[in-house]
Structure 1
């Protein structure tokens, strides 16, 4: 492996762990909010999209950025993303954080199936081995976590069903982000991928605007019963900040590695949650956590190395996919704009 490829691999793994850390903070704050008796998933998600829209929506409009894929693609992706967040946050009211973490792994097989069908991605046997090692590592975490996370929730069947439905939404969202980010990245380097998700988040806010008007009715009693202490405000703010940073880093991971490695990286979120728990509550860490983290790290490296080998030495046609409508014209338009700008400067 060349030095450049090694640095790229290290960067991908680092960014993957960064998003995993952010999702761990979001899960931790959501579980604490649920433990305090607050059930306002729409309001929680709304603050996330509000912060994303205020920052990236303003920049997007200020720079006069052009949408590089059709508007309805953003709309569809925003709908499934909003729905996925709602279902997962709602699940914390009915089941334990351990169950949510375990069932959230269902995103991985959904993503593998969807990337195989929609993107034409072909996985090598070693990539499946790497994914299996990652899941095995998470299994050790959950084995160690039995009896520690406390309780199975008030209605575990309902909560588990919500999580599984949420993973389907997340899978469609992840694959939907990966597909156009490839074209955008080719048109305007890796930073172009971030503009795609930023525009999507702007649409997400528009979509959640209507549900949150409904939340004045659906969650009115819950909001009225919330005791807005400094702790509660910090938890809502922490959730919004963590998810804001999560959505900011995600497009870079999607562009550099894809949806499957992204979801495999999220398997360490439970381990980061343990680190957070140790920091706040000074809990004892079981030795299985260290072994589990090592297994997930090994699995990610196996998957990433074989992914690079497949991309570099595999059949180029296997890595191609059909562009969605208007992608080609949008990308060509960007190239023409860049050419005109360079001509004027010359």
Structure 2
């Protein structure tokens, strides 16, 4: 009886912490989306430069912690390089999509990363999914398809110059995000590395790759920008919020898993729609609501099953731990 109470309390605290972290990440994601949209409306189209400061902050702050600890590197550097390369290009594609599509489309299509994560974990991490999970993925994909059709239906009301091109960019970026998220989850859950090491090398290599890409693709655009407070402040705000987002994601992945992370980010899509309607007084095509509802249903279906599985694993681990402790005391 006492053990059951302990396990229930453990799961409750873990869930509450995950919900809190998840909603904070959702708010940060929403803020980043609106900042990118704001810069695009000002004609500032430098997606790699926009994320560069985040990588610099990660390298300096977490690199300083790593040097202070003087810990050995647990994973080969070239794995972190590949992970940073994927992450930089994912950010580039998604941020660039704001030039062509609406905020709502970009944030909804970001859900494409979720079924991609499931496929990647099934192929490379050997995670097994039941029929209910597969059904949830299929419904989620249908929601993504509806977003594309909604942009076609909305036409010039979609909020971008070329919504279909924006959709393609964000789907490609979301696929790369899936690769990055699955890799990060592997690192933090399998104890092959730690969060500080991960963030250090993500920032270090991300900054180098971004700097090279900026010098090739965005040098002329940066020179043409009139660096007033209206341009500088969004850049700094994006850097700080993205740094916080990157810092908290591994924590949530390690404590609650990718399901809680993905489900939490889903609320960012809802908030973005509400802000567009009530703050910016923009028209939102009715297919967006149907797409959002369909995607949400699909996510909830597989998330419920995932939570059941995670709780069963946690309970079994805690039971084993308690039995081991009881055996030590008796001996």
* SS of residue in 2 equivalent to 1:2: helix
Residue matched to 2:112: 106
Supply the distance in 2 between the matched residues of 1:234 and 1:167 (Cα, whole angstroms). 26
Task: Return closer, same or farther for 1:300/1:231 CA change in 2, 3 Å cut-off.
Answer: farther
Residue matched to 1:330: none
Task: Return closer, same or farther for 1:197/1:27 CA change in 2, 3 Å cut-off.
Answer: same
Supply the distance in 2 between the matched residues of 1:76 and 1:115 (Cα, whole angstroms). 18
Task: Return closer, same or farther for 1:308/1:100 CA change in 2, 3 Å cut-off.
Answer: same
Residue matched to 1:12: 18
Residue matched to 2:163: 156
Task: Return closer, same or farther for 1:296/1:33 CA change in 2, 3 Å cut-off.
Answer: farther
The reply on whether 1:184 has 2:191 as its aligned counterpart is yes
**Superposition TM-score, scaled by structure 2 size:** 0.77
Instruction: Give the Å deviation of 1:181.
Output: 1.1
Residue matched to 1:233: 232
Task: Return closer, same or farther for 1:80/1:138 CA change in 2, 3 Å cut-off.
Answer: closer
Q: Do 1:182 and 1:193's aligned partners in 2 also have CA atoms closer than 8 Å? A: no
What number of residue pairs does the alignment pair up?
A: 305
Q: Do 1:84 and 1:170's aligned partners in 2 also have CA atoms closer than 8 Å? A: yes
Task: Return closer, same or farther for 1:52/1:152 CA change in 2, 3 Å cut-off.
Answer: same
Residue matched to 1:196: 198
Residue matched to 1:211: 213
What do you get for the CA RMSD once the two structures are aligned? Answer: 3.7
Task: Return closer, same or farther for 1:130/1:110 CA change in 2, 3 Å cut-off.
Answer: closer
Residue matched to 2:327: none
**Superposition TM-score, scaled by structure 1 size:** 0.74
Instruction: Give the Å deviation of 1:42.
Output: 1.4
Task: Return closer, same or farther for 1:267/1:142 CA change in 2, 3 Å cut-off.
Answer: farther
Instruction: Give the Å deviation of 1:198.
Output: 3.3
* SS of residue in 1 equivalent to 2:190: helix
Residue matched to 2:321: none
Residue matched to 1:173: 180
Q: Do 2:132 and 2:305's aligned partners in 1 also have CA atoms closer than 8 Å? A: yes
Task: Return closer, same or farther for 1:263/1:15 CA change in 2, 3 Å cut-off.
Answer: same
Q: Please, which runs of 5 or more residues in structure 2 have no aligned partner?
A: 1-6, 318-331
Supply the distance in 1 between the matched residues of 2:79 and 2:119 (Cα, whole angstroms). 20
Task: Return closer, same or farther for 1:7/1:304 CA change in 2, 3 Å cut-off.
Answer: farther
* SS of residue in 2 equivalent to 1:67: coil
Q: Do 2:148 and 2:164's aligned partners in 1 also have CA atoms closer than 8 Å? A: no
